Structure 1
Amino acid sequence: MSKICEYYFVPHSPFAYLGHARFVALAQQYDVQIILKPCDLSKVFGVSGGLPLAKRSPQRQAYRLVDLARWKDYLGLPMNLQPTYFPVHSDEAAKLIIATQLAHGTQAALELTGAIMRAVWEEERNIADTETLIGIATALGHDGKTLLKSADTASVEAEFVRFTEDAIAANVFGAPWYVVDGEGYWGQDRLDFIERAFAK
């Protein structure tokens, strides 16, 4: 019986972007089932004491950029550290991912997640824009317009709310967040520990 890993994230997170492809590859390597749970991080912050980027101290904001640059260079990933469309409202993108998972399965949703993250951090695209989201989904072979309509339904909204409630119940306070065998791991820099948990 394969392991299960719950994957909490927001589509615009730079650290989720840095870890996404490596995380997906690890799950495939160890035959781990990923449960995608894009959530509303602002509500998670509201109960966990987190702050949106603009409200963090100058020291924290400056260190974040230094840390992102280190990881970008270490991983050899293309990345605009201060992209044009960031901060960005990503709830609609999250719901599009949920709609894709419901319609086409987890693998399709994971691929869309990666494409949305690249749109922010590599391609200078605005994922709060409806046409941009349709274009990203369509480029992956989906009917982007139909998926976006599905994303705006009560059933998808209910899933988004449920995932956010699950995140709060799991004591999530940042993104990305992974839960393996009931144990939480915060951040893409914990993927070495994730691999050990997968290998047990």
Structure 2
Amino acid sequence: MAKTCDYFFTPQSPWAYLGHERFAALAKQYGVQISIKPCDMGKVFSVSGGLPLAKRAPQRQAYRLVELKRWSEHLGMPLNLQPKFFPVSGDAAAKLIIAARIAHGTEAAMRLTGAIMRAVWAEEKNIADAGCLAGLATDAGLDGKVLLQSADTAAVQQEYDRNTDEAIAANVFGAPWYVVGGEGFWGQDRLDFVERAFGKL
């Protein structure tokens, strides 16, 4: 039986960015297949009690910045606390990732995901812009123009909707969210527990 982990996220999440490469490395180390599931976290929030950043209480917003700075420094990862293009819609980027998975497989989709996340949080790029996304895909060794066209298809939209429905069914309420052996783990700060779960598969 294959060892698998469902990976729910939204590509504009700073927490998903901070955990993405470590998660990918752990999955490789333990021989776990990633089921990559970018989803619409706005819809997930609407049924799970979550609030978009702008609607959160000031003290929550302030502490978020403190924690992002701590984790960025702890991990040695570049992160602009208030990037130029944020808040930003993740829909187009999520669908590009799905198109990459369909055309080129999970590894390519994971590589593209990392590039998109870095673009937001370290490179001051606008991932809602089609030209930016095409360039990121091309830089990741994919055909950005072709992928953009594929991302705008009914099949990709259906997978995006299905990922979101699956997230809701799995009681997801934040990103990143990892499901191992039916058990959910919320946040990049739970990767130690994810690793332990991988070891039991």
Q: In which range does the TM-score fall when normalised by the shorter chain?
A: over 0.9
State whether structure 2 residue 86 is matched by structure 1 residue 86. yes
Q: Which residue of 2 aligns with 1:39?
A: 39
Displacement of 1:140 after TM fit? 1.4
Displacement of 1:16 after TM fit? 0.2
Q: Which residue of 1 aligns with 2:104?
A: 104
Correspondence 1:1-200 to 2 at 5 A: 1-200=1-200
User: Aligned equivalents of 1:146 and 1:136: distance in 2?
Assistant: 13
User: Aligned equivalents of 2:142 and 2:21: distance in 1?
Assistant: 20
Aligned letter for 1:179?
V
Q: Which stretches of structure 1, 4 residues or more, deviate above 4 A after TM superposition?
A: none
Listed one character per residue, the Cα deviations across residues 73-94 of structure 1 (whole Å, up to 9, x for unaligned) are 1001011111000000110000
Identical columns (%): 70
Displacement of 1:125 after TM fit? 0.2
User: Aligned equivalents of 2:71 and 2:123: distance in 1?
Assistant: 18
Aligned letter for 1:46?
S
User: Aligned equivalents of 1:42 and 1:65: distance in 2?
Assistant: 20
3-state SS, counterpart of residue 78 of structure 2? coil
Displacement of 1:2 after TM fit? 3.7
Listed one character per residue, the Cα deviations across residues 131-170 of structure 1 (whole Å, up to 9, x for unaligned) are 0000000111211011000000000000000000000000
Aligned letter for 1:117?
M
3-state SS, counterpart of residue 78 of structure 1? coil
Using the size of structure 2 for normalisation, the TM-score is 0.99
**Unmatched 5+ stretches in structure 2:** none
User: Aligned equivalents of 2:143 and 2:68: distance in 1?
Assistant: 34
User: Aligned equivalents of 2:185 and 2:140: distance in 1?
Assistant: 30
User: Aligned equivalents of 2:70 and 2:141: distance in 1?
Assistant: 34
